[in-house]
Amino acid sequence: MTESDPMQQLTGLHVPLVTPFAADGTVDLVSLERLAHDTLADGADGLLALGTTGEPATLTAAERATVIDLVGGVCAEHGAVFTVGAGSNATDGTAEALRGIDPRADFALVVVPYYTRPSEAGVVEHYRRVAAESPVPVIVYDVPQRTGRTLSVDTLLALAALDGVAGFKHASGGVTETTVRLLAAINTSTPGAVSVLAGDDPFVGAVLALGGHGAISACANVAAGEFAALLAAWREHRLEEARVIGGALAGLASALFAEPNPTVIKGVLAAQGRIATPAVRLPLLPASDGAVAAANALVRAVVAA
């Protein structure tokens, strides 16, 4: 990443990389490194290590450290933004992970505490604590369908006002009233200070149209160039082109998420020869042949368009 205010850098396309596995079940570092280089070469602005798409819960501590080290090195080589997933549903554990984050990291992606379902006030205090202890700016990962905790606009704006919070991965399951009000408030009251990145791939184009600042896109593992083109079209006010690209990518995203993520994405990457196997770790099972074939056909159509 270039040397400037990191709070101003949370824009553009950031790709949460899959963690490829070899035939013997070990982490396939050769495929991971190749995918990381290719994704940045295709137009991504940054990479995310150990996002949900990377299956971090199924990795050992040593494997997680190896993935972080590899992805951090590739980002440094390209001058790209490097983000690390470091959140859990325990405040002390999250703070400890952040204190030990890789020194090359530019941002930490920290999920809203899941399963325990704290109050909204408790969520704010969680982020107040972890952001204060983090050596890098924090991205709030708001994904209520996974966490079981829906946050109001008032709570999201309270989080945006915390020192050390750079922005949001907004994955509320669609474009909701909350999406509209959050973007309107941030772009009106604190333009440039806090970012909102689209986190639901079928709705990236819609969030950008409402004033979103970029995307954290799992589907960009297979179509980084096309997602980068979508962001560029909105940024450069080529509206009709942006609508066309966004519509095509929304359909592709639905196909890639037809079965639990990242199973179809890995299936497509393996079918294309970009990773060695489509393997995932339990409790996930590999995607069905039909889902992979359908998604791969859409990938070819979108890339050829």
CATH number for the domain harbouring residue 56: 3.20.20.70
Whether the Cβ atoms of residue 10 and residue 212 lie closer than 8 Å to each other: no
Answer yes or no: is 303 within a domain: no
* Cis amide bond preceding 262, omega within 30: yes
Q: Is 216 annotated as a binding residue?
A: yes
pLDDT for the residue numbered 290: 98
Give the tens place of pLDDT for each residue, 179-204: 999 999 999 987 778 999 999 999 99
pLDDT for the residue numbered 6: 47
Give the domain range for residue 150. 6-237
Work out how many domains the chain is built from and give that number: 1
The two structure tokens encoding residue 96: 């400890």
The two structure tokens encoding residue 25: 């079940």
Answer yes or no: is 206 within a domain: yes
Give the tens place of pLDDT for each residue, 208-238: 999 999 999 999 999 999 999 999 999 999 9
State how beta strands 165-170 and 46-49 pair: unpaired
Give the C-alpha separation, 41 to 244, whole Å.
23
H/E segment holding residue 86:
none
pLDDT for the residue numbered 191: 75
The pTM of the full predicted model, rounded to 2 decimals, is 0.96
Answer yes or no: is 27 within a domain: yes
Ranges in the chain, pLDDT < 70: 1-8
Q: Is 277 annotated as a binding residue?
A: no
Answer yes or no: is 264 within a domain: no
Residue owning tokens 């709030």:
140
Indicate which residues carry an active-site annotation: 141, 169
The two structure tokens encoding residue 259: 């079965």
Answer yes or no: is 285 within a domain: no
Give the C-alpha separation, 255 to 294, whole Å.
7
